[in-house]
Amino acid sequence: MEHYNMNLTLKVWRQKNATAQGNFENYQVKNISSEMSFLEMIDVLNEQLVAENGEPIAFDHDCREGICGMCSMHINGRAHGPWDATTTCQLHMRAFKDGDTITVEPWRAAAFPVIRDLVVDRSAFDRIQQAGGFVSVNTGNAQDANCLPVPKDDADLSFAAASCIGCGACVAACKNSSAMLFVSAKVSQFALLPQGQPERTSRVLNMVAQMDKEGFGSCTNTGACEAECPKEISLTNIARLNREYVKASFLAE
């Protein structure tokens, strides 16, 4: 693949804190390698800002391997940028061309308040998982591997749901800021396995109740969440969540 350098204009959202009035600031970056990751390009810009006695841009990152879900940036109107099934840290600058103007902003959702610049508070997801996204296990020795046989199809579906990294792209992509894809993935992960059956009813009721409490919107059924999900979590999980919720509601009566 051909390597090239480019000069870019960046329009980056700057906001000092959750209560401050934010705005876009324009920056010029030069000689950016097409082989850099998007976050490496932001690192270069921050080094430039520090050298000029400016304030570096705050953004979330950790693994930079598409696993942790922290690199939540809205890039040119798309969650995580122009590539499909890609986190921001996996996005490379060859997705852009010399002279481009790139707009970078944080997730826009009431349930994800901005902390600073491109960093948002996604602890709402943590509270949803704490409400029921777990399996209670009595202390003692672990069971042998084959004691609980799981059908291959169920295991595959559960594993696919478990691949959700909780980045929040589904919320950012949805016009109602719905968290249904995230919640459905976490519910499906356990509902499909025998280990998740004892708390199956309470799990879905508690997680949906917490989702509503956090202020996420309702599902729009447009499929934007699946289209922008870096792990390609399927909409079928939302259908499963709805079925689980209806059944649990009847059982709870």
pTM, to two decimals: 0.93
Query: CATH number of the domain at 122-252, out of 3.40.50.150, 3.20.20.80, 1.20.140.10, 1.10.1060.10?
Result: 1.10.1060.10
Residue 139 has pLDDT above 70, yes or no: no
Residue 153 has pLDDT above 80, yes or no: yes
What CATH code would you report for 5-105? 3.10.20.30
Residues 6+ apart with CB under 8 A from 243: none
Residue 103 has pLDDT above 70, yes or no: yes
User: What is the C-alpha separation between 44 and 116, in angstroms, rounded?
Assistant: 19
Out of 48-57, 58-67, 141-150, 235-244, pick the least confident.
Answer: 141-150
Task: Look at residue 145 in the predicted model and tell me its pLDDT.
Answer: 67
Q: Where are the beta strands (DSSP E) in 94-200?
A: 101-105, 114-116, 119-120
Task: Encode pLDDT of 174-188 as tens digits.
Answer: 999 999 999 999 999
Residue 152 has pLDDT above 70, yes or no: yes
First to last CA, the chain: 61
Task: Encode pLDDT of 18-75 as tens digits.
Answer: 899 999 999 999 999 999 999 999 999 999 999 999 999 999 999 999 999 999 899 9
Q: What is the domain partition of the chain in residue ranges?
A: 5-105, 122-252
User: What is the C-alpha separation between 253 and 250, in angstroms, rounded?
Assistant: 5
What are residue 180's phi and psi, to 5 degrees? Answer: -60, -40
Closest CA to 43 of 65, 69, 68, 64: 64
Residue 79 has pLDDT above 90, yes or no: yes
Q: Which residue type, as a one-letter code, is found at position 42?
A: I
Which strand (E) or helix (H) includes residue 200? helix 200-214
User: What is the C-alpha separation between 230 and 207, in angstroms, rounded?
Assistant: 23
Q: Which residue type, as a one-letter code, is found at position 39?
A: L
Task: Encode pLDDT of 188-199 as tens digits.
Answer: 999 999 889 989
Residue 171 has pLDDT above 70, yes or no: yes
